[in-house]
Amino acid sequence: MSKNGLIVLAKVLAILGIASAFVFYSCSNARAIRNEVRDQNRAREVTAYAVSERAAGYETVSFASLADAGHPGDAAASSNAAVDRIARTIASGHRHTEVRIDDACMQALFRAAAEFVYHRFVVTDHGRYVDWRLAEGYRFRDRTELYGRALIGEDHEILFGTSLAEDAPLRETFVRFADHHRGNWGPVHTPVGLATDPKSALVLIREIDPVVGAGAVSLGSAELDAYWLATRMGRHRNWFQGRPSGLERYRSGVVGLTLEHGDGRRRTVLIGFWSPAGTCDWRLTGLSQLALEISGGLIDY
């Protein structure tokens, strides 16, 4: 072989050696990442069950009992009494505030969260839930976005066996999904009651700069962090418009509650709200749940 041929061969072998080393490194790195993710998921699962066990001794009130709230036949009185009961549970919980907020503004957040819990979980008529959201000034997200990026069109075909028309009415489509999920979740996925112990509720108030982001948060104790923050909080699917994009600072209000499910386990949820800085106009923006991938079904809201 000529000298030039040997040089070419040496270069080829060198390249092959580098490529082999890169492939080996990539495979080893991918394996390490998979193992790390698996270990993290196991740790979150252990924590999720520990939270559920800790909450097992908490007093609860069933959603069925809240549905008439001692005023059978009087829907308005029952609704007000139930919302008041939920709001008192929220008010009794742990409060972690990073910005000054007056009592009236705090009470408004309690009420907003209680109204949502009542209309989404206590009321079983999902058309009433939609009507409440619309009456509160919420508006559906863009139909194209919902049916496309939010995978509602794809889910419709899976669940109902038919394609979803591009102009399918939003209210009726939401009700169909919500009715289907309530009827097919099974007990492990169905919230049936609310824990009322003060340790079962949380209120977290922060001010967020969209340019910087929310950043990490601690509730001031390892016990509270483990109960509320140490597990993956899977997000449910919001059909309504959330906080508009922009660079203005805003208040973030998060209400944590412990819901009892049909299988007897208690699981935490976080309900997110926002308001323009300096106001008390709390607007619903998020709903997430303890270890959603192992402990709950998707909730459309």
Q: What is the pLDDT of residues 190-229, one digit of tens each?
A: 889 999 999 999 999 999 888 887 778 889 888 898 888 8
The boundaries of the domain holding residue 219 are 56-295
C-alpha neighbours within 13 Å on the C-beta side of residue 67: 12
Closest CA to 128 of 141, 114, 118, 139: 118
Please state, rounded to an integer, the average pLDDT across all residues of the chain. 83
- pLDDT bin (cut points 50, 70, 90) of residue 55 is confident
Q: If you average pLDDT over residues 44-66, what whole number do you get?
A: 80
Residue 38 counted as domain residue: no
CB 72 within 8 A of CB 260: no
Closest CA to 51 of 257, 210, 240, 205: 257
More confident residue, 31 or 51: 51
Q: How many domains does the chain have?
A: 1
Instruction: Give residue 153's identity as a one-letter amino acid code.
Output: G
CB 250 within 8 A of CB 208: yes
Residue 300 counted as domain residue: no
- pLDDT bin (cut points 50, 70, 90) of residue 90 is very high
Give 58's contacts (C-beta < 8 A, 6+ positions apart).
195, 196, 197, 199, 200, 258, 266
Residue 35 counted as domain residue: no
Residue 25 counted as domain residue: no
Please say whether the dihedral angle defined by the alpha carbons of residues 63, 192, 93 and 56, taken in this order, is positive or negative.
positive
Closest CA to 40 of 236, 291, 287: 291
- pLDDT bin (cut points 50, 70, 90) of residue 301 is very high
d(CA 164, CA 146): 11
Q: If you average pLDDT over residues 92-120, what whole number do you get?
A: 95
Give 255's contacts (C-beta < 8 A, 6+ positions apart).
90, 109, 110, 113, 201, 202, 203, 204, 270, 271, 273
Residue 96 counted as domain residue: yes
Residue 220 counted as domain residue: yes
Burial label for 66, CB within 10 Å (0-12, 13-18, 19+), is buried
pLDDT at 234 over 80: no
Q: How far from each other are the two terminal CA atoms of the chain, in whole angstroms?
A: 74
- pLDDT bin (cut points 50, 70, 90) of residue 153 is very high
Reduced to 3 states (helix: H, G, I; strand: E, B; else coil), residue 175 is helix
Lowest mean pLDDT among 3-7, 150-154, 226-230: 3-7
For tokens 């069925």, the residue is 64
More confident residue, 181 or 101: 101
What is the pLDDT at residue 275?
92
Q: Is this model's pTM higher than 0.85 or not? A: no
Question: What is the helix (H) or strand (E) element at residue 110, kind and residue range?
Answer: helix 103-117
More confident residue, 110 or 4: 110
Residue 213 counted as domain residue: yes
Q: What percent of the chain has pLDDT over 90?
A: 47
Cross-strand partners of 62 = 193
What is the pLDDT at residue 35?
57
Residue 179 counted as domain residue: yes
pLDDT at 159 over 50: yes
